[in-house]
A and B are shown apart, each in its own frame.
Chain A
Amino acid sequence: MRGSGRTYWRLLVAGFRRGSTYRLAALGGLVANATFGLLKVAVLLATVEAAGGELAGYDAARMSAYIWLSQGLLGSVNLFGRTDVAERIKTGDIAVDFLRPLDVQAATITTAVGQALFALLPRGVPSVVLGALVVGMATPDHPASYALGALSVLLGIVLSWATVYVVATAGFWLVDARGLQVLYMVVSGFLAGLFVPIWLFPSWLVALAQATPFPSMLMYPVDVLSGRVEGLGALAMVAAQVGWLALVLLAGHLLTRAGRVRLEVQGG
């Protein structure tokens, strides 16, 4: 559809501009990211040193790259489970979305991604710059890693919001989906490799993590962008991301269709 691209572009821009209205929140987020980044530096670099300078393929510079890239993406990749659409389903405001000639799932994710992309400016970039200046970090050997890394980051961001959307659709069946959101928050950060790289996990836990979409949200983008994984390995990670995204989008689509029929729009 011809008009469709323009519509979703507008929604992306709207989300981006929406993000820009919360400058103080972005600054607060950056401070929190940086603080926890320095904490991770202290713990993880000491661990690498204790392991004899290398741990599961990470030397100090690679570990630093992992820390600052993952901290920088934290403002954009949704590992908290919270999202506007969950609230809109709960209050019934979602009805307004259904009154538009739009795919509600696509419109919701597009707007959220717009806001997430904005967050790269006040939270992502400064975080990486800080890490590079204060600690120093490894950079990719091949220029292609930057392009593939950017794609991987974008996929990770979209995947996280698409997954959170799926969690939110539970609200069509449950009056309050907050329990699920908390569960998502607890599980996603851990399995996405937010606290430590998943490659430090025992192999069974790595396998478990890889059976979920979470590493595709953060671990893979960080690995590809930092150049820790290159060539075919990097392509395989991006392919896994695409696969998970397709699966999650399909699930969201089906749940939206089923949920809409159940919608009772409480109140007014």
Chain B
Amino acid sequence: MSGPTTPGGPGETGPVIETHGLTREFTVRDGLRRRRVRAVDDLTVTVGAGEAVGWIGANGAGKSTTIKMLTGILVPTSGTVRTCGLRPVEDRRRLARRVGVVFGQRSQLWWDLPVRESFRILAAIHSLDAAAERARTEELVERLEMGDVLGTPVRQLSLGQRMRAEVAAALLHSPALVVLDEPTIGLDVLSKQRLREFLVAERRAHGTTLLLTTHDMGDVERLCDRVLLVDRGALVFDGDLAGLSRTVGAERVLVVDLAGATPDLTGLPDVRHLGSEGGGLRQRLSFDPDTTTAARVLAAVSDHAEVLDLSIEEPDVEDVVRRVYAARR
């Protein structure tokens, strides 16, 4: 059997993901009545080799359902899907050699066994020879800084440690396509940062195609060069992050703590007053970075009151999604 990473197979030349009119319905029991719910609606999308795509949308927008169809664990109601040039359901086992999947909520590690043992079993499952197994394991362990937990049973790992082990397990066979479903959910800032840095480096080193669903704008900003936004199963935006920001107006929010109670700072040029706390001691102001700058806003505020402290809030995915959704309804 040839190694799973041998180049030249299907998917190396063509698109990694190609769907046409992909649709999935579920029957939902609603009391005694049954009704059909369309989780993914007529999705047509193509992802080329080496792209990094962030799949964003509210809970229940159909992201996970799509991923399940792309990886062959859920059968589409209609439409076609090709992943790495293969039919996911029919060619499940061949596809599994080319794809690595991390479901943030589901573990692929052997709960009772040391982390090292999971890697050994997965290496055997993916038919890595001894040299490839050693080299790849060492590479992943070093880059994910997992050397000290290799001998620890999975059930004793912290969430951050476990997620790194999950990612390593999914990438052990150097898949051409890596699918991450909510990879940073529940992680602390440092753990998120480490994981993102690793994924960026992994992509650079191996040209891996990356597909991730997330609620975290940080994930999208640092990892993805393309964003797909879904609403009620349908694709409503496909482009880069800057384009998404332009679409919704990427307003920043400046929060200022002032030296004394100040009347609401309405009427500053290019600034919208969002709200005040403590009788005007803290005020939230929103501005569009395309029309003005934080410095200019701050200068305008300083004309009215002394600024003790400030912070700038960037829109998170929820915000962006909410705004796109609001614009559509």
A residues near B, CB below 8 A? 1-3, 6-7, 9-11, 14, 17-18, 21-22, 92-93, 95-96, 98-102, 261, 263-265, 267-268
Contact = CB atoms under 8 A, between A and B. Distances in A.
Nearest to B126: A101
A99 B101 contact: yes
A3 B121 CA distance: 12
Interface in B119-133: 120-121, 124-127
A122 to B, nearest CB: 16
A98 to B, nearest CB: 5
A96 B96 CA distance: 10
Contacts, number: 81
A102 B121 CA distance: 12
B38 interface: no
A268 B125 contact: no
Interface of B: 1, 26, 64, 68, 71-75, 89, 92-94, 96-97, 99, 101, 103-108, 110, 112-113, 117, 120-121, 124-127, 153, 181-182
A7 B93 contact: no
Contacts of A22: 112
Given A21-B112, A99-B73, A101-B97, A265 B1 contact: no
B106 A268 contact: yes
A263 B92 CA distance: 14
A2 B125 contact: no
Contacts of A17: 113, 117
Nearest to B181: A268
Contacts of B72: 98-99
20 contacts: A1-B1, A3-B1, A7-B127, A10-B120, A11-B124, A14-B117, A14-B121, A17-B117, A21-B112, A21-B113, A96-B106, A99-B71, A99-B101, A101-B93, A101-B125, A261-B75, A263-B74, A265-B68, A267-B105, A268-B106
B125 A95 contact: no
Given A3-B1, A102-B93, A263 B117 contact: no
Contacts of B68: 95, 265
